[in-house]
Amino acid sequence: MTAGGNRLAVAVVGGLHADARRAAVEEILRTVPGSVALHHDLSAATDRAVRRTVRDASGPLGEGEAPLVNDCACCALREDMVPELLRLAMGGGHRLAVVELWDSVEPQAMAAVIAAEGAPLELTGVATAVDPALMVPYLSNGDDLADVGLAAAPADRRTVADTFARQLEYPTVLAVAEDTTCEEPADDGDQALLTQLTPGAGRVRLGEGALGPALLQGFDVEAAAVRQHPACALLPQDSDDHGVSTLVWRRERPFHPGRLHTALEDLTCAAARSRGRFWLADRPDTLLSWDAAGGALCVESAGPWLAALPDAAWELVPAERRVAAALDWHPGHGDRCQHLTFTSPRLDRDNVLALLDSCLLTDAEYAAGPGGWKHLSHAFDELLDPAA
């Protein structure tokens, strides 16, 4: 309980699996004395407002509306959330405020907003609620959020699959609520897929009363952001369990840009989820991120490789990234490397391996060195430099 508004623990619970998310929040309210839930419903954004509700285990405590900000429902959420949390903190009487995110809102952005506010708010946990039986349907859903009524802004171009993947991979706690909406219960393959995709998260089964305590342990926003950066992301490990496989592919030779570009569609569709960082021969100083789900791929520049930076700049780089670079360090080209992971039921490992290896520079191409690589096809220019 806060004393004169000194401190209010705040936990974030999100997830596209709405029934699982609601069950998670209800369990927290039921099992953690002095807990209260704050929820912004973005489904009414077409009416130019975001609906806010506050409730505890006994029922509603209050409601209201937040006007849209720049036609962005998610922006309205950010503008309204902190003042409401501060009001709850200053009012006293609450031990924990649970921010229940709307379906497509990703926890990383909201966690950062709460953490940046500081006292009297203290971010103590972030969880995503998930029904394992829905893993494959959601990871394979390439529909735009706008097409299924879940976009948070007119310019929201995210898909169901990539949004779900990021919701899974950011938090340190997964609230597992099985059999909430599916006629077919989760099987061992569904559980294996969830486990392989989330190596850094603890799993809490709903119904056992452990979620509330798990969300009071503390949460480091900066460390979580580092875990998401392509240069040092906590990626899945090689695995094969109950028909679900994760292939970890690491190589110390750059991709031929033309051959990789030709293979993009096949590689994107080869797995339910693929992630990592890679190196193109014609862009030797640029660390590129690979992020694919639901048959859609996002390739972006994630800044320079450490080997491309002057020594003086290394002190500005997070220690976690320097450690990750040291693990991959090569005497000739530093931390430049290929590190991609592919996770999926019925993954054709041999085909993915052969296709990836065929996209690397040949011995003759590699021998030409960086000077020769500059004359290779610049097939990724349009994808990476659309304004050029």
Give the CATH number of the domain where residue 22 resides: 3.40.50
Same structural domain, 63 and 186: yes
Residue 101's domain spans which residues? 8-228
Contacts (Cβ under 8 Å, ≥6 apart) of 25? 13, 37, 39, 98, 100
pTM of the complete model: 0.92
Question: Residue 183: its pLDDT value, please?
Answer: 63
| Residue 116: how many other CB atoms lie within 10 Å | 11
Residue-wise pLDDT tens digits, 304-346: 999 999 988 888 888 888 888 888 899 999 999 999 999 999 9
Same structural domain, 208 and 333: no
SS3 content of the chain, % helix, strand, coil (to 5): 40, 25, 35
What is d(CA 257, CA 33) in angstroms, rounded to the nearest whole number?
57
Same structural domain, 373 and 343: yes
Pair 121, 83: CB distance under 8 Å: no
Does a structural domain hold residue 1?
no
Residue-wise pLDDT tens digits, 106-164: 999 999 999 999 999 999 999 999 999 999 999 999 999 999 999 887 788 899 999 99
Question: Residue 3: its pLDDT value, please?
Answer: 42
Pair 92, 80: CB distance under 8 Å: no
What is d(CA 270, CA 143) in angstroms, rounded to the nearest whole number?
18
Same structural domain, 48 and 80: yes
Same structural domain, 342 and 311: yes
- Name the residue with tokens 């052969």: 354
**pLDDT range class, residue 195, cuts 50, 70, 90:** very high
What is d(CA 135, CA 193) in angstroms, rounded to the nearest whole number?
8
What is d(CA 347, CA 343) in angstroms, rounded to the nearest whole number?
7
Contacts (Cβ under 8 Å, ≥6 apart) of 343? 193, 196, 197, 236, 244, 245, 246, 247, 271, 272, 273, 274
Same structural domain, 331 and 285: yes
Same structural domain, 49 and 151: yes
Pair 248, 277: CB distance under 8 Å: no
In 3D space, the residue among 6, 178, 14 whose CA is nearest the CA of residue 98 turns out to be 14
Same structural domain, 18 and 57: yes
Which strands form 202-205's sheet, in the order they lie side by side?
59-67, 49-56, 35-41, 96-100, 8-14, 121-130, 173-176, 202-205
Averaged pLDDT for residues 32-54: 87
Question: Residue 4: its pLDDT value, please?
Answer: 45
Averaged pLDDT for residues 14-35: 97
Averaged pLDDT for residues 209-224: 95
Same structural domain, 349 and 261: yes
Question: Residue 156: its pLDDT value, please?
Answer: 85
Residue where a domain stops, chosen among 166, 194, 228? 228
Question: Residue 1: its pLDDT value, please?
Answer: 42
What is d(CA 141, CA 296) in angstroms, rounded to the nearest whole number?
10
- Residue 165 pLDDT exceeds 80: yes
Residue 203 is which amino acid? R
What is d(CA 214, CA 235) in angstroms, rounded to the nearest whole number?
23
Instruction: Determine the straight-line distance between the first and last CA of the chain, rounded to whole angstroms.
Output: 56
Same structural domain, 35 and 168: yes
Contacts (Cβ under 8 Å, ≥6 apart) of 164? 16, 138, 139, 141, 293
* Structural domain count, the chain: 2
Which pair of structure tokens corresponds to residue 33? Answer: 């004395």
Same structural domain, 207 and 270: no
What is d(CA 23, CA 214) in angstroms, rounded to the nearest whole number?
16
Cα R_g (the chain), whole angstroms: 22
| Residue 46: how many other CB atoms lie within 10 Å | 10
Residue-wise pLDDT tens digits, 248-280: 999 999 999 999 999 999 999 999 999 999 999
- Looking at every residue in the chain, the average pLDDT score rounds to 92
Does a structural domain hold residue 299?
yes
60: which DSSP letter?
E
